[in-house]
Structure 1
Amino acid sequence: MNLRTILTTVVVLIVALVGTVWLGRGNGDLEPTTPARPAADPDDDRPKIAAKGPYPKAVVEKPRYNFGEMAVGQSLSHKFILKNEGEVPLEVKKGNTTCKCTLSEMKDNTVAPGKSIEIELTWTPKAPQEHFGQTATIFTNDPENKELKLQIEGTANNLISFSGDMMGTAHWSLPTMESDEPVSYTGSIHTKYMDEFKITGIESDRAGLTATFKPLTPEELKEEDTKTGYSIEVTADPTKFPLGGFTERLTVKTDIPNDLEPTESHADHKHPEGHDHKHEHQPPGDRTFVIQVSGNHTGPIRIVPTFGVYWNPQTMVLNLGEFSAKEGKEVMLSMFVEGTELPLEIVDQQVIPDFLKFELKKDDSFQSKTKQRYELKFAVPPELPAVSFGRTNLAKVKLKTNHPNAKVIEFRVQFISL
């Protein structure tokens, strides 16, 4: 290779190298690379801890407080005392909380050496809890206590308690109504969380179900371990009830506020300025409570099912079970009647659905001076379309009779034909 060729090759290589460098710089200028910003440090917003002492010293003597028992809807508060026992100002900042947390006023969120602030935690339980615990986190610039955990705990119960309480609901059972004489049950409503309250009225949607009330005696209050309450006597008039089981509602109206005002855990507390810490406004309320009253009106009627027939005397429900729609089903029951010498007659009847067949036949062979026996037949005819009558849409047979103490008899029938 001659000298001229070598020089030409070197020049070409140099030009190519310069072009490559220039193109690389140009692309960089068109799309400059932006360095990624570091993610925000969660500690950036906390009080800064000095690199060296002297340091503040955050002290809370009792960081946990137990309210004991309190009522659902009742607000209780407790004030924790946070003291700075260090040599320089203590900086504080409220962190995460599961309850209401309030810090007393301070200058620039700092607590001077030897001084203290109050941190108030307030909790209002919304449902009964065997044990609750609520916390608040306080951040500081004390290197030994960068995070202070304050906790309140306790047990939350229903504000009002009843005798016969089941899962927070009052269920009262009346004696069985076997004649036309009224029957009664006496229960109680009481509370250990209020010094007093008033019942302003008791209402019932069922004619024949009434209630009266009076304050519990000191002996009764002691027996119930409660502060105040009332005994309530519920009376049912059998002449106003159809035969069978029933469940009715009594609505108890009171003067208890719908929202209970917060209560201090320490009495006669004063603000740092010297003002009494009191809630001047109590919202008006007319809180109501519901009592479920159940009973069974058998009257002069007794129903006895034959073998294999499912009959519930409390609800007057006859369960025919599942059967073939093509074959249908028929069952028999015995009915014993007292309280009249005249044969039982059906004055009027209502049957739903209309294809359900019902027959009442007197057993003249039955011998008794006080009772009469009748055969009851319920039948679903064969060759009907498949149908279901369950708990929410029971079939019904309602009879009006000439019996003075059993003017209305209502049977309910449950079945599935396939």
Structure 2
Amino acid sequence: MLAVIATLIACLAVFAWGVGQMPDVAKWTAQKPAATGDKPAEPATPVPPEHEHFPTNPFTPDKAATNQPKVQLPEAQYEFGRMALGKTGEHDFVVKNIGTAPLKLAKGPVQCKCTVSGLKEQEVPPGGEAMIHLAWTPKDIGPFAQVATIWTNDPEQDHFTVGASGTMYPEIQVKPDNGWALGPISNSNDVPLVGSLESPVIEKFSITKIEPSSDRVELEAVPYTAEELKEKDLLSGYHFLGRLKGIQNPSSIQESITVHTDLADHPKYEFPITGSRTGAVTIIGPTWFAGGPLIDLGTVSAEKGKEFKLTLMVNPGEEELKFTDVKINPGFVQMKLKPEQTGKELSRERYSLIITVPPGSPKGNWIASKPGQFLIKTNHAQIPELDIKLHLNVE
């Protein structure tokens, strides 16, 4: 069982029936009844600070006295059931004195890191009752059970406990909690948007409006069935079913959906939709710069040469990708395409693009003012030609 870090606030209100003015609560005493009218009362019991408690019973009952207090507690344990995380649960416990002498009460030990504050020294007259108010705000999800002890001067019951138990849930559960991050999208098909808004503690709420950022986005909210609520251990909830319409051309995706509810504490939820529509081909590697498009090989030794490897991702075509014609400036630079993972069942095929500056290459500089070039023709219907700039310094 998960303990709940809680704040227990117990305050005692005394209601006297048929009794005159109650003693001043600031003048708490734990006096034994005088055997005779001349015998003085015992000194007052020390009162701990508000946030502390008596570790042991501060009262010494006079068991020989004719008149005695007697505690009656109609309810000692309260089951809160489901509680929303961050909300405060409250309950009042009634303490009755069915004896014939005043009943005295004092704050005792509490569980865990909880505290009992606000319980000041009070006397409950014979036939009277007091109210102990418990309240706390849960900090952790899961079951909880907490108990507070109250000392008494009842010779037959020197203390009693009051407590509460229940289970903490998040008030609202949202999926996806950070919106839809779609990543790279390599085709023009619609992209499904699936999510939910649900509550284990709110019996009913409504989605009042759904606002997409553009007509490229669609979303509807479908209430859970009774069977779904039972299966998920929920009280209310909605499915989100929608789509991002297919995008033809490469571009960045920055959309959003705003869902409005009738919940005072949760009036709306913002769901960003992010991603990118990639082209039919994607090149990956430290020498690749998509903004060019550019392959920057840097400085290469003319004597030693150097080999570079990039990854090329493409949508599957009718057949395996091939370069049908390659023109390279400068002409001594070599390029080779090597299949790594191919097949029509894949969302993207993977190839290695191997570029070689061979040993003994002529020295020269092909940079921004006079770049080199890869002009490549392919057998792929979506990428018939690739025109890529080349930066290279051979020395």
Q: TM-score, normalised by structure 1?
A: 0.49
> Are 2:268 and 1:288 equivalent residues in the alignment?
yes
Q: Is this contact kept in 1: 2:63–2:155, CA < 8 A?
A: no
> Are 2:190 and 1:211 equivalent residues in the alignment?
no
1:212-251 equivalences under 5 Å are 212-239=220-247, 242-243=250-251, 250-251=257-258
Q: CA deviation at 1:185?
A: 2.4
Mapped to 1, the partners of 2:372 and 2:217 lie a distance apart of 32
Mapped to 2, the partners of 1:216 and 1:84 lie a distance apart of 51
Instruction: Give the aligned residue type for 1:236.
Output: L
Mapped to 2, the partners of 1:302 and 1:218 lie a distance apart of 47
Identify unmatched segments of 5+ residues in structure 1.
1-39, 259-285, 312-323, 340-354, 383-418
> Are 2:200 and 1:192 equivalent residues in the alignment?
yes
1:252 alignment partner in structure 2:
259
Q: CA deviation at 1:129?
A: 1.9
> Are 2:87 and 1:74 equivalent residues in the alignment?
yes
Mapped to 1, the partners of 2:207 and 2:170 lie a distance apart of 17
Q: Is this contact kept in 2: 1:57–1:142, CA < 8 A?
A: yes
Three-state SS of the structure 1 residue aligned to 2:101 is coil
1:273-312 equivalences under 5 Å are 287-291=267-271, 293=273, 297-298=277-278, 300-303=279-282, 305=284
Mapped to 2, the partners of 1:130 and 1:378 lie a distance apart of 60
User: What per-residue deviation string (whole Å, max 9, x for no partner) do you get for residues 213-269 of structure 1?
Assistant: 24334454444443332222232134398557x7865443322122xxxxxxxxxxx
2:360 alignment partner in structure 1:
none
Structure 2 vs 1, CA of residues 377 and 49 (structure 1 numbering), >3 Å: closer, same or farther?
farther
Q: Is this contact kept in 2: 1:303–1:334, CA < 8 A?
A: yes
Mapped to 1, the partners of 2:390 and 2:117 lie a distance apart of 67
Q: TM-score, normalised by structure 2?
A: 0.51
Q: Aligned pair count?
A: 277
Residue among 334, 343, 346 paired with 2:312: 334
Q: Which structure shows the bigger proportion of residues in strand conformation?
A: 2
Q: Is this contact kept in 2: 1:99–1:121, CA < 8 A?
A: no
Mapped to 2, the partners of 1:288 and 1:100 lie a distance apart of 37
Q: Is this contact kept in 1: 2:187–2:280, CA < 8 A?
A: no
> Are 2:164 and 1:156 equivalent residues in the alignment?
no
> Are 2:99 and 1:119 equivalent residues in the alignment?
no
Structure 2 vs 1, CA of residues 47 and 176 (structure 1 numbering), >3 Å: closer, same or farther?
same
Q: CA deviation at 1:158?
A: 1.0
1:343-358 equivalences under 5 Å are none
Instruction: Give the aligned residue type for 1:190.
Output: E
Structure 2 vs 1, CA of residues 90 and 161 (structure 1 numbering), >3 Å: closer, same or farther?
same
1:319 alignment partner in structure 2:
none
Structure 2 vs 1, CA of residues 247 and 137 (structure 1 numbering), >3 Å: closer, same or farther?
farther
Q: CA deviation at 1:361?
A: 3.6
Structure 2 vs 1, CA of residues 161 and 333 (structure 1 numbering), >3 Å: closer, same or farther?
same
1:400 alignment partner in structure 2:
none
Q: Percent identity?
A: 27
Q: Is this contact kept in 2: 1:330–1:377, CA < 8 A?
A: no
User: What per-residue deviation string (whole Å, max 9, x for no partner) do you get for residues 320-355 of structure 1?
Assistant: xxxx9999x97634254789xxxxxxxxxxxxxxx9
Structure 2 vs 1, CA of residues 87 and 359 (structure 1 numbering), >3 Å: closer, same or farther?
farther
Structure 2 vs 1, CA of residues 336 and 186 (structure 1 numbering), >3 Å: closer, same or farther?
closer
Q: CA deviation at 1:159?
A: 0.9
Q: Which structure shows the bigger proportion of residues in helix conformation?
A: 1
Three-state SS of the structure 1 residue aligned to 2:154 is coil
Three-state SS of the structure 1 residue aligned to 2:263 is coil
Identify unmatched segments of 5+ residues in structure 2.
1-45, 49-53, 289-297, 302-306, 318-367
Q: CA deviation at 1:91?
A: 1.8
User: What per-residue deviation string (whole Å, max 9, x for no partner) do you get for residues 130-178 of structure 1?
Assistant: 23444544343335655544322332111112455xxxx3665669744
